[in-house]
Amino acid sequence: MLNSRQYIERLLKQAGIRLNGNRGWDIRVTDQRFYNRVIRSGSVGLGEAYMDGWWECPELDVFFFKIIKTGVNAPLYTPASLLLFLKSVLVNQQKKNRAYEIGRRHYDIGNDLYRVMLDKRMVYTCAYWQNAENLDQAQEAKLDLVCRKLDLQPGQKVLDIGCGWGSFAKYAAEKYDVNVTGITVSKKQMKLGAELCRGLPVEIRLQDYRDLDETFDHIVSLGMIEHVGRKNYRRYMQLVRSCLSGGGGFLLHTIGSGTSVRSTDPWIHKYIFPNSMIPSLSQLGDAFEGQMVMEDWQNFGVDYDKTLMAWFRNFHNGWDQLKKRYSTKFYRMWKFYLLMSAGSFRARSNQLWQIVLSKDGFREGFKPSSYRDYEVAAE
């Protein structure tokens, strides 16, 4: 019978990773308790052991790419994974009275952290690198891509569900002369977003999407539906339909999973995004079936790998500015989160979708200044 070290060593070998090897993606174990901890607690044990300094890996993103691509992470599912799955089946983990938890536990960590990590506009969603040379350019290209897909016109009213620090609202108001209402469940995002958008036709509110009761010419949601949960997708789409004018469009920008799941990774749930869930194509299709017309669906998930690596470089290079407020354990936790995520997109386990939906179908089809025209013009 294999002991815990031998079992872990065999799993890693399948992914081309050596214990205490000398390649960048090999891991070096510094505490022998590591093996039993991973066997006992799966992904939570792996992440917590890294946070505690029990193992090192110079190229953590490559390590995760290899284990996700080969699927050797699957045997590490544990009773904690099963419990999280059962809770997701029995309980609506994203119900209204939990809506603000993600704001408190993730987005309210500190605006200083996000100022250091993100681009100059503080966009916390996947950038569009088609013709960009740096993160600032790639994020502006993404924001412009959204505006062009919706064919925004001066004076229109636009709703941004999950507006973050107001990056899209500010860009669309400045560049396309539209009026934007943004909603967030983060108090710190609302406060800073209002400051950044001062003087523009932008309103940033602290509000749950279920409390909306207005009509808009267009609606966008960039990186927010990952917090909605499968039990609420249908209601979410019903609300979008009720808030959308007849000729308007809804652009949904979301991480997408190749398989339908009911819960997230246990370590991510515990430390990064509580109650989150990545939707699948079929889950989203079921949600808008009979309610919305799918006009366009673009996948640029490979761009999220580059975005996450840029975020990590900013975070790492700016650590001297942050370490007075954040611990070394936090640094390791955040590094683990960013580089694990980059590895998952590199392995194409996760995707990034931009979906354009209309209420009853655009009369002349999807033909605004689309991303196809945008790419040709940029070249």
For the whole prediction, is pTM greater than 0.85?
A: yes
pLDDT of residue 372: 53
pLDDT of residue 365: 82
Q: For residue 77, give both structure tokens.
A: 């599912």
| Residue 378, pLDDT above cutoff 70 | no
**Which backbone phi and psi does 303 adopt, to 5 degrees?**
-70, -20
pLDDT of residue 368: 56
Q: How confident is the model at residue 246 (pLDDT cuts 50, 70, 90)?
A: confident
pLDDT of residue 377: 43
List residues bridging with 221 in a β-sheet.
252
pLDDT of residue 366: 84
CB 202 within 8 A of CB 174: no
| Residue 330, pLDDT above cutoff 50 | yes
Q: What is the pLDDT of residues 180-200, one digit of tens each?
A: 999 999 999 999 999 999 999
Buried b (16+ CB within 10 A) or exposed e, 58-85: eebbbbbbbbbbbebbeebebebbeebe
Q: What is the pLDDT of residues 47-72, one digit of tens each?
A: 999 999 999 999 999 999 999 999 87
What gap in Å lies between CA 4 and CA 10, rounded to an integer? Answer: 10
| Residue 201, pLDDT above cutoff 90 | yes
Q: What is the pLDDT of residues 136-146, one digit of tens each?
A: 999 999 999 99
| Residue 87, pLDDT above cutoff 50 | no
Task: Give me the mean pLDDT over the 81-102 stretch.
Answer: 52
The proportion of the chain whose per-residue pLDDT surpasses 70, expressed as a percent, equals: 89
- Which is more confident, 91 or 303? 303
What gap in Å lies between CA 295 and CA 122, rounded to an integer? Answer: 29
What gap in Å lies between CA 88 and CA 261, rounded to an integer? Answer: 10
What gap in Å lies between CA 125 and CA 139, rounded to an integer? Answer: 8
pLDDT of residue 96: 58
pLDDT of residue 263: 66
Task: Give me the mean pLDDT over the 156-174 stretch.
Answer: 98
**Burial class of residue 35 in the structure, from the number of CB atoms within 10 Å of its CB (0-12 exposed, 13-18 middle, 19+ buried):** buried
What gap in Å lies between CA 73 and CA 38, rounded to an integer? Answer: 11
CB 288 within 8 A of CB 236: no
| Residue 218, pLDDT above cutoff 70 | yes
β-sheet with 157-161: strand ranges across? 202-206, 179-184, 157-161, 218-222, 249-257, 350-358, 293-299
Q: What is the pLDDT of residues 346-377, one digit of tens each?
A: 999 999 999 999 998 888 888 755 455 555 44
pLDDT of residue 216: 98
**Burial class of residue 45 in the structure, from the number of CB atoms within 10 Å of its CB (0-12 exposed, 13-18 middle, 19+ buried):** buried
CB 361 within 8 A of CB 293: yes
Task: Compute the C-alpha angle 47/49/54, nearest 5°.
Answer: 140
- What is the rounded average pLDDT for all residues in the chain? 90
**Burial class of residue 261 in the structure, from the number of CB atoms within 10 Å of its CB (0-12 exposed, 13-18 middle, 19+ buried):** middle
pLDDT of residue 251: 98
What gap in Å lies between CA 229 and CA 72, rounded to an integer? Answer: 27
pLDDT of residue 135: 98
Task: Give me the mean pLDDT over the 247-259 stretch.
Answer: 94
pLDDT of residue 356: 97
Q: For residue 100, give both structure tokens.
A: 């603000």
Q: What is the pLDDT of residues 7-29, one digit of tens each?
A: 889 989 999 999 999 999 999 99
Q: What is the pLDDT of residues 260-318, one digit of tens each?
A: 876 678 899 999 999 888 999 999 999 999 999 999 999 999 999 999 999 999 999 99
